[in-house]
Amino acid sequence: MRESPDEDKFRSAYEAHARALLGYALRRTATPADAADVVAETMLTAWRRLDVVPDEPETILWLYGVARNVIANGDRTHRRQRRLAEKLRSQLDDALEDPPVADPALAAQVTAAMKSLTPIEHEVLTLTATEQLSPAEIAVVLDMKQNTVRTHLHRARSKLRSALTTDASEKSTTRAKRTDDAGHERAERQSLRFHRTQGAQ
């Protein structure tokens, strides 16, 4: 049966960008299952609002923007209730058994250092480093001016350099001070939920 133009457009967008979107979500959610649900919710929004989805090459930027809002909303249980991504969740759980990064110690160090960034600095740097977007593209995703993006990026890199340097010099002290305090645990989980970039569960 011949598909409608809408279905064609959606299938094209899905096939071209679903995997990049999954990567984006995996870097910003606490679990692979959450990431699958974010992809599902984002693509559902795209399907229902196909008339406003921009043509290429801006499609992926629009999808990133929607995914960002989906994650910010944080209503994980309702996303799960849709049951759109059950098979994808299951496959992801099986496929991502290995540690998500090659060097967990380094990843932990960088993740800790990135906590010194504001949420927007964190996002701008992540979009630059992992999604490999230009400031102009990030400006579209975040709906802000290019110059503002550049400012955030500059600040983010400066802070991260500083934090990594400090972390290296104080590593032994920091280690000694770590505790299993419940408050620390909560803070850690929350950080993963909203600003998470590393995949450690």
Q: ∠ at Cα 25 (20, 31), nearest 5°? A: 135
User: How far is the C-alpha of 162 from the C-alpha of 65, rounded, in Å?
Assistant: 29
Restricting to residues 108-127, name those near another protein by CB under 8 A.
109-111, 114, 118-121, 125-126
Q: Which of 5/176 has CB closer to another protein? A: 5
Site stretch for another protein (CB under 8 A), options 53-61, 81-89, 169-177: 81-89
Site stretch for another protein (CB under 8 A), options 53-61, 106-114, 168-176: 106-114
Give yes or no for residue 90 binding another protein (CB under 8 A): yes
Give yes or no for residue 157 binding another protein (CB under 8 A): yes
Question: Contact letters (x/-) for another protein, 25-64, by CB under 8 A?
Answer: -xx--------x--xxx-xx--xx----------------
Alpha-helical regions (H) of the chain? 5-26, 32-48, 59-73, 76-81, 86-95, 104-114, 119-129, 135-142, 146-169, 171-177, 182-195
Query: CA torsion, points 181, 185, 190, 195, in degrees to nearest 10?
Result: 110
Question: Contact letters (x/-) for another protein, 128-147, by CB under 8 A?
Answer: xxxx------------xx--
Structure token digits, residue 145: 């001016």
User: How far is the C-alpha of 201 from the C-alpha of 192, rounded, in Å?
Assistant: 9
Q: Which of 59/151 has CB closer to another protein? A: 151
Give yes or no for residue 197 binding another protein (CB under 8 A): yes
Residue located via tokens 């110059």: 147
Smallest distance, another protein to C-beta of residue 117, A: 10
